[in-house]
Chain A
Amino acid sequence: MIATLSFLTRRLSQGALIVFLAALIVFTLLRIGPGDPARMLAGGLSDQASVDALSKQMGLDDPFIVQFGKYIGGIVTHGDFGHSYIRSENGQSVGGGHGDSAGASNRASVISLILGRLPLSLALAAAGLGLALVISAPIGIWAGLRAGKWPDSVTIMGSSILVSMPSFWIAGLLVLLVSIKLQWLPAVGYSGPKYLILPAIVLAIEMAPIFIRTWSSAISSMTRRDFIRVAPVRGLGSKAVFTRHVLRGAAVPFINTLGVMLTSLIGSLLVIEYVFDFPGLGKLTVEAVMQRDFPLVQAIAIVISTFFVLVNIAVDYVSGLFDPRLDY
């Protein structure tokens, strides 16, 4: 109990620091990078005076530290991540105005933009991950129990080949075959759960080989452990040995891989949502970066780093449940 509490306090405070630093770095990078938001907002035709006024109104003339302080203060005190430079409430890009200096009022709040896109991305991620897990567990465990024999070699070879194929290439192939040739499934955009299927399959194909390899190596290394080998001599049945000891022991490496895959999932979503023109958080991120929508980019960075931190804490905590010797 005390150990858990101590673990959580320690890790959450470390995590908060990491998120803060990530926010600071992104904030700095955006400020020193090219592009003047005020000019962009004001529109290419505006005169210098109105750009300066806008700049002042947005606080862009304040010293860097004051800007950052205000930004963080807004988040901490009322969860305010600011408003998009570009997007209106209905989600359309408005930016590049004609000097009419559209007020912040009709620009969308960053939070609502993110929350609007998040469910779709989560659904896609869950579908892809779920599919990968369902496929990989039986194959990986089956291969792991036959380490050194042909099933093991075949799965290792097969997954190596899959891992080395880039996901956009697989995506292209699938779209061509399933969507264009056979016309079974829609490929681009989103208007209903059917649109989840193809991108989820691509995600799963990307992740499954890695899970398969984790399962097979974890299971086969467990079966070589002394206490597993003497378990039958103690009088335990092979089923009990498998569920109570082999699976338990393999759970720790599996959970660690799961953690790594969850974080790398973010990168995959960026690519796949872009390729499938899938209106999720990944696509929003790509657009926000390309449009220099600073508040949106910053908020997404904070969301992603928070996710990283939480996944890592959860992985370590759950691993500790399976193997109490682990001491974080």
Chain B
Amino acid sequence: MTKELLKVTDLSIANVGPATPRPILKNLSLSVAESETLAILGRSGAGKSVLGRALMGWVDAPLGVTSGRITLEGQDVLGANPDALRRIRGTGIGYVGADPTRVFDPTLPVGRQIADKYRAVRPEVSAKEAMERVHELFSLVRIPEARHRMAELPSKYSGGMIQRAAIVDAMIGETKLVIADNVTQPLDVTVAAQIIRLFQDLRERLGTAFLFITSSVPTIKDFADRIVVMDQGEIVEEGPTPQLLAAPRTEASEKLIAQSPRIWGTTAPESLSAEDIRDMPPALSITALRRTYKVPRKDKLFGSVFVQAVRGADFDVYPGESLAIVGESGCGKSTLMRLLTWLEEPDDGSVQFHGKNVGSFTARERFDLRAQLQLVLQDPYGSIPAHWTIGRTISESLRLHSPLKGKARRARVEETMAEVGLDPALYDKLPSGLSAGQRQRINVARAIVLEPTVLLLDETFSALDPMEQTPLIELFRKLQRERSITCIFISHDLALVRRVASRVAVMYLGRIVEIGSNHNVFSRPLHPYTRALLSAAPTIEDSPYDPNECLVDGEPPSPIRLPKGCAFADRCPVAQEACMSSDPELMRASERSRVACHFPLAALEPASVKDAAHVG
């Protein structure tokens, strides 16, 4: 048994603000050994973050410690005087939170801030040595061009990069334990996977102990030595990772495991088969769509740069199908959405709606198009006016687009509310107090009340937790069956896409790089980027793709300076010479798939993938 590093005994924390204190953590006891990786698992609100902060001696009003002790190598944390506490925080325990953009002063270079911190906790170090140490660690966490990066402001960092810098900040004082609270949550899948790999690497090299706080089982399943499951402020179960995941003993753990995303173990949704689809004219047809933004440059007297947000997107959407567009942040998904709805006009290319070019629509036709093509937005809170009754919110578009009046309009709205699973009695109520799931239903009702033929869903489910997601997905399936609505989902969540889409388009840097049926894309990806996305997807199953082989390094190049050849070439694990010079077009690869790659992975289909899905 290795030496015990951190010990928590009988810790209770309560919200002592109100007259009767509300307990938040109840009599927790746990310990972390040297070099151990412990995962704290629990659903949202379980009290994980409160615990994580308390371990740093960070308990702010209205919270207060009501009982218990925390010791680091025998030294009391909660009762430490300010100087001792500062030493514990700088050289004993480091903390990395979910939102690293808020760790640094936005007006100072990142490298200098970390060096300052290092010198604050190790006063014997000189300024020069501190900068050298920062540089060393920046290279260790694989921040490219470390020296140059150190001199930049936090705002110049991407999400993954600033998270790496925050990790350096937490570890620079040679800390023995690093608490990582939800660190991958704000990151894109491939970047999140890189960060997890980085933690594994650091643990092996430095022997630091980690306390990894998360609500996502896949994130820690290959990483943690031991898991502690929390529920409602209590520790309900703990044990070594493989045993606990294989045989959970409590309902809380079971639920967490059952709700974890799966890709290969599930089947693609039933929908119109591809055969039916191809005989119909497309509902929406996009050809060579382009959109470039001109952004003025700061560092030159004159001149501007061009951001190529969408660079020639090409695809058709057939009536009644559900197409998902997946890709990481910044790949142009939302711009594409705005172009499809004609909220913004493309620089080039065309959008055809049931065979008619939207670009040549009259004002009247465009107005009608708005009714036919409805958008359901991402944010369930911001998008619903707080001072309007729910009925008014939903009926607003009827007012503009439909001749229905008075009683008839109300009847239609109530009918729609019932259809999306909202109690029609809520018609005259205000939306305050509704859950995210219910709000999202209002958004859906608002979109379908006009009986549109096409629905665009921009990350509609992302803000919902798995428990709220499932019924909404069911709702969409039902709507599609009954009304044969065409749905276009935009999402970064592969497990979700697997459940809802009949066809999948993968987008990278403003272009569709692969499009095919759900089954083909998930079990026989053709594009190396698709495979990288799949290997990075956090799922509870073992991925058939080995991340070490498929996962891509780095982050997408900026859409300003695009390489001459394939845009993916500098991250592509199978790139060859030809890729550097010529840009692959989106070409037909098989009956139902198209791919933009000179060397598609057709032959590499992994044998381990069962043909679980039968949708072509």
Question: CB of A267 within 8 A of chain B?
Answer: no
Check A227/B58 contact, CB under 8 A, given A234-B117, A235-B86, A240-B120. Answer: no
Binds A, one of B101-109, B197-205, B241-249, B594-602: B101-109
Contact of B95 among A227, A233, A327 (CB under 8 A): A233
The verdict on A235 contacting B107 (CB below 8 Å), with A226-B102, A325-B155 known, is: no
Q: Is the CB of B301 within 8 A of A236?
A: no
Are A6 and B301 touching (Cβ within 8 A)?
yes
Which residues of A in the span 50-71 have a Cβ within 8 Å of any Cβ on B? none
In the bound complex, CA of A230 to CA of B108 (Å): 16
Chain B positions 454 through 493: 1 when the CB is less than 8 Å from some CB of chain A, otherwise 0: 0000000000000000000000000000000000000000
B169 at the binding interface (Cβ < 8 Å):
yes
- Of A226, A234, A322, A325, chain B has the most CB atoms within 10 Å of the CB of A234
Residues of B within 8 A of A98 (CB): none
How far in angstroms is the closest Cβ of chain A from B533? 31
A325 and B107 in contact, given A2-B301, A230-B102 (Cβ under 8 angstroms) = yes
Query: For B56, what are the chain A residues with a Cβ–Cβ distance below 8 Å?
Result: 233
A244 interfacial contact with B, CB 8 Å? yes
Contact mask for chain B residues 75-89; partner A; CB cutoff 8 A; 1 contact, 0 none: 000000010001101
| Cβ contacts under 8 Å, A325 to chain B | 106-107, 153, 155
Query: Are A233 and B298 in contact, CB atoms less than 8 angstroms apart?
Result: no
- Known A-B contacts A2-B301, A234-B89, A235-B90; A248 and B117 likewise in contact (beta carbons under 8 Å): no
A209 within 8 A of B: no
- Residues on B with C-beta less than 8 A from A235 are 86-87, 89-91, 117, 120-121, 173
Give A116 to B104 CA distance when docked, in angstroms: 51
CB of B89 within 8 A of CB of A2, answer: no
A interface, by DSSP: helix, strand, loop or mixed?
helix
Contact present for B103 and A227 (CB under 8 Å) = yes
B58 CB contacts on chain A under 8 angstroms: 233
Chain B residues with CB under 8 Å of A240's CB are 116, 120
A249 near B: Cβ within 8 Å?
yes
Q: Are A324 and B107 in contact (CB under 8 A)?
A: yes
- Please tell me if B299 contacts chain A, counting CB pairs below 8 Å: yes
* A227 touching B105, Cβ below 8 Å: yes
Q: Mark B169-202, 1 if CB is under 8 A from A, else 0.
A: 1100100000000000000000000000000000
The answer to whether A236 touches B107, judged by C-beta atoms less than 8 angstroms apart, is no
**A227 CB contacts on chain B under 8 angstroms:** 102-106
A3 at the interface (CB under 8 A from B): yes
A9: chain B residues at CB < 8 Å are 301
Q: Mark interface residues in B155-178 (1 if CB within 8 Å of A CB, else 0).
A: 100000000000001100100000
Contacts of A236 in B (CB 8 A): 86, 116-117, 120
Selected from B95, B103, B120, B169, the residue in CB contact (under 8 A) with A237 is: B120
A232 and B86 within 8 A (CB): yes
Does B300 count as interface, using CB distance less than 8 angstroms?
yes
Pairs across A and B, CB under 8 Å, 20 listed: A226-B102, A227-B106, A230-B97, A230-B103, A233-B56, A233-B58, A234-B95, A234-B103, A235-B90, A235-B91, A235-B117, A235-B120, A237-B120, A238-B82, A248-B107, A248-B108, A249-B107, A324-B107, A325-B106, A325-B153
Top 3 A-B pairs, shortest CB-CB distance: A235-B90, A226-B102, A235-B89
